[in-house]
Structure 1
Amino acid sequence: MTTVQPAAESTTHIELHLWSDLVCPYSWVAKRRVEAAIAAFERPHDVMLRLRSFELDPDVPVGGAVPVREHLSMRYGGGDAGTGRLMNAKASEEAQADDLVFDWDRAVRANTFDAHRLCALAGEMGGPALRSAAVERFHWAHFGEGLAIDDHEVLQRLAAECGMDERRVAAVLASDDYSEQVRADEREAGSMGVTATPFLLANGYAALSGVRPVDDYLALLRGVATQSV
């Protein structure tokens, strides 16, 4: 009679921290690719992905409905309209393989601080899964629907769609709750010299900056797993 041995219990634990901004197209692409790498990893249940906050441009004024293309042209191209179009086209090309479509004709500039505060709230209310859902919803609202994700009415509705308690969301938006959590994320990133997103840190020592292919993230996971055995 053949005796079936129970599978060996894993001793490897990998904690990933992904810093991103909600109006950064490469951050959204990186999130999807990191998740794909985790799914392809031999022990996906040993991996914990924690999403962290980062503002690429914290001085962006709230409101104004300024098109992203115009904002990028002013910030990086001295007003040259071609700069914004080129940057948007590059991001769209990068995202094609990930089935992400950016509607640059509708996307508007937004200050992301309050949206990041709600992401921190989501993490407290429902853990990494709810935070991930909030990040996805805010990304899609910005890039796919042309919504101003610094408008409190918009944020209230989007958070409710994610399953977040509406009264708690309203209370947070009316206060400065979770501001320190966002600032702490940004301080930690700054202490490592991070100035742009996305930025991925594994187990506190292995890092990848910028958006990478899925295979690069998978290689990082396997390398860290080998070191952790």
Structure 2
Amino acid sequence: MTDAIKIDVWSDIACPWCYIGKRNLESGLSAASEDEDAPTVEVTFHSFELSPDTPVDFEGDELDFLATHKGMERAQVRQMLDNVTGVARGAGLEYRFDLLKHTNTVKAHELLHYAKAHGRQAELAERLMSAYFTEGRHLGREDELVSLAEEAGLDVDDAREALRSERYLDAVRADQAQAQAYGINGVPFFVIDGKYGVSGAQPADAFAQIVRQVWAEHREAAPAEV
């Protein structure tokens, strides 16, 4: 039996390119899944905070945040947001930067580790990113996070306790330390089988091509069946 390809994804739920990269990865894997010898793939999400110093309740919208915290000209920010909105639309995502509530994401990352421990990480990652970029939900607030956890099939009371106890904060920090060890300084970043690194929101075709290539390597390395 051929071992599954392991794809480790470093991302932040507040990173617009991360959601696009996630969707493109899914589209690429879907295309490869139609092959006669379809790859088996396991995807795991890891924590990366783009702006760990962000307050939970940031006063202003995304344009304000980038202009004041990143020192960018407002016209440049507007153009950048328009561009990423167009790219997102091409991936089937309708970004609403006019609704977006910029916030600190460490609690969302803790919740993703909780979801991973309960077999619902993929579902929660999708729910958090959709809520943040398309629905204007405030992901820095506990009540909002546990509500989304429930929508992803998790227990509300247990999820709330996990956040309050910071049970998974060490796991978040371990992910960040691993990213630093790998030399990751921007996301999304995809590590395939612990040896191939793919940076940025690559097109779906690129993801399909690389998993096919790596799957062929797996097949060559697999012991012959008796």
| TM-score of the superposed pair, with normalisation by structure 1 | 0.89
Higher deviation after alignment, 160-169 or 65-74: 65-74
2:65 is the alignment partner of 1:71: yes
Cα distance in 2, alignment partners of residues 132 and 227 from structure 1: 26
Please tell me the residue identity of whatever aligns with 1:95: A
2:97 is the alignment partner of 1:107: no
Cα distance in 2, alignment partners of residues 186 and 66 from structure 1: 27
Residues 44 and 56 of structure 1, relative CA distance in 2, 3 Å threshold: farther
Please tell me the residue identity of whatever aligns with 2:125: V
Question: Corresponding residue for 1:52?
Answer: 46
Contact 1:206 1:220 in 2 (8 A): no
Contact 1:71 1:84 in 2 (8 A): no
Cα distance in 1, alignment partners of residues 154 and 38 from structure 2: 27
Please state whether the residue corresponding to 2:52 is helix, strand or coil: coil
Please state whether the residue corresponding to 2:165 is helix, strand or coil: coil
* Structure 1: gaps spanning 5 or more residues: 1-9
1:223 to partner: Cα distance: 1.9
1:192 to partner: Cα distance: 1.0
CA RMSD in angstroms, aligned pairs only: 1.5
Question: Corresponding residue for 2:87?
Answer: 94
Question: Corresponding residue for 1:35?
Answer: 26
Cα distance in 2, alignment partners of residues 45 and 169 from structure 1: 33
2:221 is the alignment partner of 1:225: no
Question: Corresponding residue for 1:141?
Answer: 131
Please state whether the residue corresponding to 1:174 is helix, strand or coil: helix
Cα distance in 1, alignment partners of residues 8 and 140 from structure 2: 24
1:77 to partner: Cα distance: 3.4
Question: Corresponding residue for 2:117?
Answer: 124
1:196 to partner: Cα distance: 1.0
2:153 is the alignment partner of 1:194: no
1:117 to partner: Cα distance: 0.5
Please tell me the residue identity of whatever aligns with 1:55: E
Contact 2:39 2:211 in 1 (8 A): no
Please state whether the residue corresponding to 2:7 is helix, strand or coil: strand
* Structure 2: gaps spanning 5 or more residues: 221-226
Question: Corresponding residue for 1:203?
Answer: 193
Please state whether the residue corresponding to 2:70 is helix, strand or coil: helix
Provide the identity percentage: 30
Please tell me the residue identity of whatever aligns with 1:69: L
Please tell me the residue identity of whatever aligns with 2:44: R
Aligned residues: 216
Residues 65 and 153 of structure 1, relative CA distance in 2, 3 Å threshold: farther
Aligned ranges 1:132-171 → 2 under 5 Å: 132-171=122-161
Question: Corresponding residue for 1:6?
Answer: none
Please tell me the residue identity of whatever aligns with 1:33: N
